[in-house]
Structure 1
Amino acid sequence: MSDSRATKSGFAAEAQRKINSKYSDELAQECLEWIKEITGEPINTSGDMDNFFEVLKDGVLLCKLVNCIEAGSVRKINESKMAFKCMENISAFLACAQKFGVPTQETFQSVDLWERQNLNSVVICIQSLGRKATKFGQPGIGPKEAEKNVRNFTDEQLKAGQNVISLQYGSNKGATQSGINFGNTRHM
């Protein structure tokens, strides 16, 4: 766990500070309030980094969350506080999140949460899951996900577009090479 690790120094400490600076207490609080609403669990919804970590670190609440979104998503939730059991819970949550449609780039590694390496990525993942939850009849969080806007053009419209010369092609009207002296010798 994070408290058994040596404190970071030098470049590692600077990198960790940069990662931690991206963390938003407000977004974390919004995530915890959403989790509380979906699961009905009595949790502290303070968004500060310490509370966010303590509430989610064992992965139990995350597994309960995905089970509330879709029943039976995680068959066995490990209540044990042993490191590998907690990491199993977190991994099960991540597998469900991807199954629900959370893109890989919006998920996190188990150690990001368990070892408190990058809690911002955990917030991003929960926000993304919150957008997907509406497809399962649950309330969502964050901005509404964009929908497809399919446009159908007739053959006539497509042919008309081929005759238009785009302004991106530019013009060479009046173009000369005067003033260009690259490669010329200098006369003094």
Structure 2
Amino acid sequence: MDVPELLESASLLVPEETATENDITVGDIWDYLVHDEWDVALALLEELADARPLPLAFWEKLAEAAEQLRLERSAAWCHWRCSEIRNGMIRADLTLRPAAEARRKTPISGAGVLRPMWDIGHLSPTGERAVSVAALWVENMPVLEPGGRATIRLLPLTPSHWTHLQPGRQITMHEDRSVAGTAVILEVHRPAAAKPAR
């Protein structure tokens, strides 16, 4: 499929009553598609998806369209959202330790590149702290500076390790033995396959 077909197909997966905070609807997006403003339509479809959960096929189509348009960050975001549906996702409020108090002296990328270790309360068979790995996406920011604070999304490498977490729980981020940051869980979304049948 070419870009217009992918975007049209994705837009058909959005319920008509869905609207962004600025009251943009699927009807508005069709106007952009008619005028070949594909990058705008893509961005608005991504924004519409914040209003309600949309199926995996929606994100797969957007990812392919973003790749064809060579919009790297948008493609990475759409692939990230596909992974969230498959593997589950945790949103949290992260505060990094200041550069003077931590090993990290440089900003972290906000686009899901970093895969730090997290102390989420597990112990090893010998009773020592056991950590779990999760990729990190910083919402609405290209980078997060040392000492900075942001809402993040975590994509667990092993989703089953994270099932006990609930909103309000504090976890710590590690890039080595020292604490690199502290996060408070805001939301927990289980993998699509792990959701109970209705």
Place the TM-score, normalised by the shorter chain, in its bin: under 0.3
Q: What is the TM-score with the length of structure 1 in the denominator? A: 0.23
Larger helix proportion of the pair: 1
Pair member with larger Rg: 1
Structure holding more strand per residue:
2
Per chain length, whose mean CA-contact separation is higher, i.e. which structure has more relative contact order (CA < 8 Å, sep 6+)?
2
